[in-house]
Structure 1
Amino acid sequence: MKIEQLIKSTWNSCKKQLTLLGGILLIAGTSCNKYLDIVPDNIAVIDNAFTMRTEAEKYLFTCYSFLPRNGDPAYNIGLLGGDEIWLPRNPRDLTAYAWGTLNTSGIATGGQNAAEPKLDAWRGWWQGGGPDDRYGLWKAIRNCNIFLENVSNTSKVRDLRLDERTRWLAEVKFLKAYYHYYLLRMYGPIPLVDQNIDISAPESEVRIKRKPFDECVAYITGLLDEAAPNLPLLISDRTTELGRITRPIALAIKAKLWLLAASPLFNGNPDYASFKDHDGVALFPATYDATKWDKAAQYTKTAIDVAEEAGHKLHQFLGTSFQLSETTLQQLRIRTAMTERWSLEHVWANPNSRAGFDMQARAMPRLAGSESSGQARMQFAAPLKIVEMFYSKNGVPINEDKLIDFSNRYTTRLAVSSERFNIKPGYETARMNFDREPRFYAFLSFDGGIYYKYDSPGNSDENSWVVEGKYTQASGATDALGFLNETGYFVKKLVDWNATHTNSNQGINYRDYPWPEIRLPDLYLMYAEALNESQGPIGDVLIYVDKVRSRAGLEGVVASWSKYSSNPSKYTTKDGMREIIHQERGIELSFEGQRFWDLRRWKKAAESLNQAITGWSVYQDKTADYYRVRTIFTQNFVAPRDYLWPIRTDDIRINPNLVQNPGW
C-alpha cells in the first residue's frame, strides 16, 4: 500500500529533515538547560519542506508515522501490560526477555516508577530505557503543528490541489487530536499544544502547564469536529490509500474520548478531588456529570451510523473449498474478524503496524514434533481468570449457568466423538474446556484442543491439528530458550488461519495483517454501555449487544438469561446490564489490548489486577499432575497511583509548572 511504502521509504530522510527542524518536543525538555527544543529560526529549511507537493506529502506521512505500533507486542501497552496475556518469567530468548521487561518486571508486575517510567509516551522513551524516534507523541504533535501552519498557507505548496489541501489538513488535525487523546488516556490532564512555541518566547511561556481534564476533552473534541467533515467517508482508492484516516475513524475516536470522559475514572472520581496545579486550579472534575454519558451515547451512535453508511459491517468468513463442519465454520467467522486484511468490520486498521511473525509466532503452539520452537514460540499465555471469563455454550457466565455444572471445572474428563471439532476424541482434558461458547474455541487453544488452520491434514477438520500441551509433548514447556506457555492456554485469536507449515514441518509461514485499532463490535458495545448508563437497559442496549452475540453464535441476552441463568432478571437493571456489557466487551475484545484500558476507566483495575495469575502445572507430564492450579504471579496494583502514568521526575524538576500524578 502506498501509505506503508511512503512511511518506510521516507522515514530516514524525513528524520534528518526533522532534526534540522528541531528535536523531540518535550514539555520539560531533554536537558537541564533547555525547557523545550525549539524549531531553529531557519526559514529556508522549513520552506524547503513545503515548496512542492511531493515534499509536503512526505511530511504528511511523517505525521502518520507516530501512530502507535500496536501490531508489535513490544509497543502494545494493553496487550502485555495487564493480566490478559502472560509471558514466561525467565526466557533465555533475548527477544522474549526484552518483552519480559514489559510484562514481568514492568507494568504488569508493578515495576512502574517515576524516575524512569516504563513505556513513556511523554518523553518518547520506550523499550530498554532509551529514546525511540517513532514514539515521542509530543514530537508527533510538534510535527503536526508545523504541517498545519505551513499547509494552511495557500502561498506554500502551490502545486497542491485545493481538495487535497483540505483533506490533508483534516488528516493532520485528526492525528494531532489523536495524539492528545492517547496522552490524555495515559496521563490524565495534559498540556494542550495548539501551536509550537516560538524560539524567542520568554521562559514563562515555555514552562507550560497541564490543563484541566474537561478542557482537554473540549479541545480534542474541537479538533475532531474540524477534521471530520473534510475527511472522506471511505477510501475509494484501495490500491494506494488504505490506512488513511476517514470520517468514521474520526467519529469513532470522538466517541472513545467521550466514553473515557464519562467513565468513573475521570467523571467525578473522589480520588482526584484534591488534585490541583501549583496555582490551585483543579485538574479533574469534582462532581459526577451524568450528561457525559448522554453525549457518549450520542457520539457513538453517530459514529456507528456513519461507519455503516461507509459500508462497515460485521465480518463474515468468506468461505473455503474445504469440507468443514458448521462448528469449524462458526469459529472461522469469529477468528477471521480479527485477522482478515482490511475486513469491512475494521473501522480503523493501521498499516503502520502489522501483526506479523513477532505477534503470531509468540501466540502459536507447536503442533508438529519436527517443528522448530523458534517458529512457534507459544509464549502468549492466557491466565485461568481470563479463560473462565468466557461464557458457557448457553451464552451465560459459567458461574450462572443453571443447566451445566462448572463447579468441578478443574477436574478432567475424556472427550467424545460429538465434540471432535473442538477437542480430540478420547483425549483427557480439563472439564473447563467442555461446553463453552464458540469464541472460547475460536480465541483459545489448550491441551487436547483442535487447532484448525489452512494446512490441516486432509484439508478437513475431521483430521486436524491437535495441541498436546503437557511437559513432554510438542507444545509442552520444555524449551530451553523460553519458548513455552506458562498457563496451558494458547492465544489462537492473534494467529491468521492461513498460517502454513513448510514441507518439512520445521517452519511456519505467517500471513501478516494491519492491526485493527477499532472494530465495529467495539463501537456497538460502547454504544450499549453509554446508553445503559444514560437511560438504563432500554431497547437499543439489548439490540447492539445482541448484534455482537449473534455473530458469536449465541442467542440474545433476554433469551439466554431467561432460559439458562440462575439470575434470569439480571439484564433488567442498570447494574446487571452493566455487568453483562463489561463481560461481553471482555470476551469479544479479548487479546486486543482493550481490557487494560477498560479496567482503568471503569475503576476496576484495583480489583482485577490484584488477583493472582494462575495456570495449570505446565511443567508436569502426567495428566493428574498437569491439571493442578498453579499460582504463577501475584500482581500488586496500587490505587489510585497506578491508574495514571507518572511523569518522569526529571521532567517535573526541569519544568516546575508541571505537577506529578497522585501517588507518584
Structure 2
Amino acid sequence: MKIKSDSNKINNYKLRLLKYAFTALLAIGSISSCKKYLDIVPDNIATLDNAFTLRSEAEKYLFTCYSFLPSDGDPLANIGYMTGDEIWTSLDERGFISEGWRIARGNQNASEPLFNRWSGKDQAVDGKNFFQAIRNCNIFIENVSDASKVPDLQLDERQRWLAEAKFLKAYYHFLLMRMYGPIPIIDKSLPINADQNEVQVKRAPFDECVNYVVGLLDESLADLPQRIRDRTNELGRITQPIALAIKAKILLTAASPLFNGNPDYAGFKDKDGIQLINTTYDGNKWKKASDAAKVAIDAAEAAGFRLYTFPGTTALKISDSTKRQLTIKGALTERFGQNPEVVWGNPNSVASFLQYAAMPRLDASKPVAVGQALQQLAPPIKIAEMFYSKNGVPINEDKTLDFTNRYSLRTAVKAERFYIKEGYATARLNFDREPRFYADLAFDGGTFFKYDSPGNTDENTYIVEGKSNQISGANNFGWYNETGYFVKKVVDWNMAHTDNNVSYRTYAWPEIRLADLYLMYAEALNESLGAPTQEVYDYINKIRTRAGLNSVESSWSTYSTSPTKYTTKDGMRQIIQQERLIELAFEGSRYWDIKRWKRATELFNQAVTGWSIYQPTAQEYYRVRTVYNQYFISPRDYLWPIKAYDLTVNPKLVQNPGW
C-alpha cells in the first residue's frame, strides 16, 4: 500500500508518516517448504484496531514485518545485482526494466532516485520502503511488549516474536545504512499527536547507527532459536546463526575503507556541524568484525551448517568434473532446508524469473520466450577474466599458462569435453580455467549439463552455440545475450525441457551462505593483524578445496609470478578480495563489496566489453567489442541520493555528498 502526499506542507508529511505507522504492506506469495509461514495475507490491511487482540492477529502483523524483506531472488528487485559491472543486458530492455542497470549506466538522480528505499516510489519494482518496515516493527514491539495485549500468547513465544521483530528492525536499518550511509535512527513509532519536531528526525552519525543496530541484534539473540524445528511451517524465520551472521556483516561493512577513515567525507556534516562519517581510521573495527564473524561461524557450525557437496545421482552417469560443477552450483541453488550451507534463505523471494532470464536457448524446438529461456543476463569479458586459471591463481599471474593471447581461437580436445565440446573452436580465454569458471559461466562451445541431458550422461550433453546464426545467438529482438557469456550458476540443474514446455525448480534466495561467513572472517582477521596467519589461509582454503583448487600457499608458491604474495597483509588482501568476488559471483554481493572496499572508482570506470555477438563465424565473433563505456563519479556515487522532496519536507536532513 502506498500513501501519497498532495502538497509539500509539513502537516501532510506528518500525516503521511502517521498513516504509514498504522498500516502494513500486503504480504507476498508462498513457498511450498514454508507455506504457513508466508500465508499472511489478511482479508483487509492490518490495523491497530484488531492486530493485537489475539495471537493469530498478532502473528499476521509479525509476518507483515517480514514481508518487507528484499526480493533478492529477482534480478530486477535485487538492488546490487545489476547496479555495478557484473551483469549487463540488451539496451532493448525487452521485458527487462532494471533500475539497477540504469544506475550502472549513470542514470541515478536526486529528483526521482532509482531504487528509492528511503521514501519509496510507485515505479519501483516492489515499492518497498524500509522506513515503513521499521515503523511496523516498532508498532509490533511496543504492542507485544505490553503483557496486557495478545492475552493468548505464551511468554516464551512472546519473547521469540519480539526478538524476531528486533532483528528485522535492525536489519532494515542496516539495509538503509548500506545504501545511504548515516540515517535517522527510528527507535519508536510516532504517537498520533506527534509534533513537527518529533516527525523531523536528523541523520545520526554512521558509527552511532552501527552501535544501535548491533545493540538491537545483541538484544534479540537470547530469545532466538538455534535452529528451526518446525521446518514445514517456520523455515526462513530468524535464528541465532542468522542474527550473528548479519551482525558480522554489519561490523565488516563498518570496518571497511568506505566508512572507516575515509577522507572524502571530511566535509560531510549535518546542519549542526556534526561529522556524519568518521574520517579517522580505527583498526579496532576490524578486530570487532573478525570476532563477530568467528562467533557466527561457530554458531552456524554448531547448528549443523557445512559447505555443500553434491550428493551424486544414480540416475545419470557423470564425471568428477561435472560433479564438481554441480557442487559449486548447488551451494547456491540447492533448496533451502535441504542445503546445509544456506544459513539464511530469503522466504520472500524465490529464483524463478532469475533462472529463465539467465538461461541460454539450448533446444531448437523451444522458442526464446518468457518462462523458457531469455538469455538476457550477460557478464562482461572482464568478469570471465576474473576467475582463476586451473592452477588456482589469477590468469595474469600464472607463470605456466600463457593467457596473453586469450582472445585468439583454440579448438577443444577430448580431454576437455566436460567443459567444452570436443572439436569446437572458442576463445583461448575459455580454456585452462578453474572449476568455478565452468560452473558459473556458459559460453559459445561450452557444455551446459542438466538433469535431462541427452543420453543420461555428461558425455553427450547440451552445448551452448552463441554465434548469430546459432541457437543461442543474438537473433531474437531483446532476448539475447549482449556479451557472449551466460550466467550458468543460478540455474538449478533440475531444469528440464519437456515435450510441451520447460520446467525450472525454484529455490529460496540464499541471503547468507556459510562460505560468505568464512570469507568475512578471513578478510577481517587479515586486516586486524600485521601479517596473515595460518588461520586466515585455512578459512580461504576451505572454500578453495570445495572448488577443486589447491591451497593458497601451494598455488601461489608453485604457479604465481608473485610467489610470496600470500605472505603479506596487502598481498593477502588482494587474494581474499578476488576469492570473494569469484565465490560469490552473480549473487548480488560484488556491487556492495567493491563499494565498501572503496574500489568502485577503479572498477566501475572501465569499458564493458563482450564478443561481437552479431557475427556468424568464429573469426568474426571472437573480436572484442565495447558494449558500454561505464563511468562512476566519486565520492558522489558511493552513496544513494535522498530524494530532493524529502529534504524539503524535513529541513533537518542533509543530502549526501555530490548530489
Shorter-chain TM-score range = over 0.9
Q: CA deviation at 1:102?
A: 3.6
| Mapped contact 2:81–2:100 kept (Cα < 8 A) | no
Change (3 A) 1:361 1:200: same
User: Given the alignment, which residue of 542, 563, 581 partners 2:558?
Assistant: 563
| Mapped contact 1:29–1:651 kept (Cα < 8 A) | no
CA distance in 2, matches of 1:389, 1:85: 13
2:445 matches 1:452:
no
In the alignment, which residue of structure 2 is the partner of 1:253?
Answer: 246
Instruction: Give the counterpart letter for 1:618 in structure 2.
Output: I
Q: How does 1:139-158 map to 2 (within 5 A)?
A: 139-158=132-151
| Mapped contact 2:52–2:150 kept (Cα < 8 A) | yes
In the alignment, which residue of structure 1 is the partner of 2:593?
Answer: 598
CA distance in 1, matches of 2:565, 2:7: 52
In the alignment, which residue of structure 2 is the partner of 1:644?
Answer: 639
| Mapped contact 1:617–1:629 kept (Cα < 8 A) | yes
CA distance in 1, matches of 2:120, 2:306: 36
Q: CA deviation at 1:31?
A: 6.3
In the alignment, which residue of structure 2 is the partner of 1:530?
Answer: 524
2:513 matches 1:519:
yes
In the alignment, which residue of structure 2 is the partner of 1:355?
Answer: 351
In the alignment, which residue of structure 2 is the partner of 1:86?
Answer: 88
In the alignment, which residue of structure 2 is the partner of 1:196?
Answer: 189
Q: CA deviation at 1:35?
A: 3.0
CA distance in 1, matches of 2:365, 2:579: 39
Instruction: Give the counterpart letter for 2:118 in structure 1.
Output: W
1:155-195 CA-partner distances (Å, limit 9, x unpaired): 11111111110100000000000000000000000000000
CA distance in 1, matches of 2:340, 2:144: 32
User: Given the alignment, which residue of 637, 652, 658 partners 1:657?
Assistant: 652
Change (3 A) 1:274 1:463: same
Instruction: Give the counterpart letter for 2:273 in structure 1.
Output: G
1:271-327 CA-partner distances (Å, limit 9, x unpaired): 001211001111111200000000000000000000100111000112111111111
3-state SS in 2 of match to 1:543: helix
Q: How does 1:390-409 map to 2 (within 5 A)?
A: 390-409=387-406
3-state SS in 2 of match to 1:54: helix
Q: CA deviation at 1:33?
A: 3.9
3-state SS in 1 of match to 2:81: helix
Instruction: Give the counterpart letter for 1:408 in structure 2.
Output: N
In the alignment, which residue of structure 2 is the partner of 1:443?
Answer: 440
3-state SS in 1 of match to 2:13: coil
In the alignment, which residue of structure 1 is the partner of 2:426?
Answer: 429
In the alignment, which residue of structure 2 is the partner of 1:8?
Answer: none
User: Given the alignment, which residue of 610, 622, 625 partners 1:627?
Assistant: 622
Change (3 A) 1:605 1:289: same
2:115 matches 1:119:
yes
In the alignment, which residue of structure 1 is the partner of 2:458?
Answer: 461
1:187-222 CA-partner distances (Å, limit 9, x unpaired): 000000000122222212211100011100000011
Q: CA deviation at 1:29?
A: 10
2:342 matches 1:346:
yes
User: Given the alignment, which residue of 615, 618, 621 partners 2:613?
Assistant: 618
2:482 matches 1:473:
no
CA distance in 1, matches of 2:360, 2:406: 23
| Mapped contact 1:38–1:198 kept (Cα < 8 A) | no
Q: How does 1:190-589 map to 2 (within 5 A)?
A: 190-321=183-314, 322-342=316-336, 343-356=339-352, 358-374=353-369, 375-480=372-477, 482-503=478-499, 507-535=501-529, 536-589=531-584
Q: How does 1:64-143 map to 2 (within 5 A)?
A: 64-91=66-93, 93=94, 95-96=95-96, 98-99=97-98, 101-103=99-101, 106-125=102-121, 128=123, 132=126, 135-143=128-136
Instruction: Give the counterpart letter for 1:349 in structure 2.
Output: G
CA distance in 2, matches of 1:220, 1:29: 33
1:86-144 CA-partner distances (Å, limit 9, x unpaired): 011114x3x22x23x541xx211011000010000001226x369x55x1111100000
Instruction: Give the counterpart letter for 1:441 in structure 2.
Output: Y
CA distance in 2, matches of 1:163, 1:29: 46
Instruction: Give the counterpart letter for 1:255 in structure 2.
Output: A
CA distance in 2, matches of 1:79, 1:139: 23
3-state SS in 2 of match to 1:663: coil
Q: CA deviation at 1:39?
A: 3.9
CA distance in 2, matches of 1:299, 1:594: 19
3-state SS in 2 of match to 1:351: strand
CA distance in 2, matches of 1:149, 1:222: 17
Q: CA deviation at 1:72?
A: 1.1
Query: Bigger shift: 71-80 or 397-406?
Result: 71-80
| Mapped contact 1:29–1:654 kept (Cα < 8 A) | no
In the alignment, which residue of structure 2 is the partner of 1:55?
Answer: 57
2:171 matches 1:171:
no
Q: CA deviation at 1:597?
A: 0.1
Q: CA deviation at 1:229?
A: 1.5
| Mapped contact 2:248–2:293 kept (Cα < 8 A) | yes
CA distance in 1, matches of 2:522, 2:22: 52
CA distance in 2, matches of 1:165, 1:197: 23
Instruction: Give the counterpart letter for 2:550 in structure 1.
Output: E
CA distance in 1, matches of 2:544, 2:279: 37
CA distance in 2, matches of 1:491, 1:29: 46
In the alignment, which residue of structure 2 is the partner of 1:159?
Answer: 152
| Mapped contact 2:412–2:421 kept (Cα < 8 A) | yes
| Mapped contact 1:346–1:518 kept (Cα < 8 A) | yes
Structure 1, unaligned runs of 5 or more: 1-14
In the alignment, which residue of structure 2 is the partner of 1:34?
Answer: 12
- Misfit runs of 4+, over 2 Å: 28-45
CA distance in 2, matches of 1:190, 1:219: 11
1:490-520 CA-partner distances (Å, limit 9, x unpaired): 000010000000125xx32011000000111
Count of residue correspondences? 629
In the alignment, which residue of structure 2 is the partner of 1:6?
Answer: none
3-state SS in 2 of match to 1:239: helix
Structural RMSD (CA): 1.8
1:46-67 CA-partner distances (Å, limit 9, x unpaired): 2511010000000010000000
1:458-510 CA-partner distances (Å, limit 9, x unpaired): 11001000000000000000102x11001100000010000000125xx3201
Structure 2, unaligned runs of 5 or more: 24-45
Instruction: Give the counterpart letter for 2:599 in structure 1.
Output: K
Change (3 A) 1:520 1:31: farther
3-state SS in 1 of match to 2:80: helix
CA distance in 2, matches of 1:223, 1:533: 26
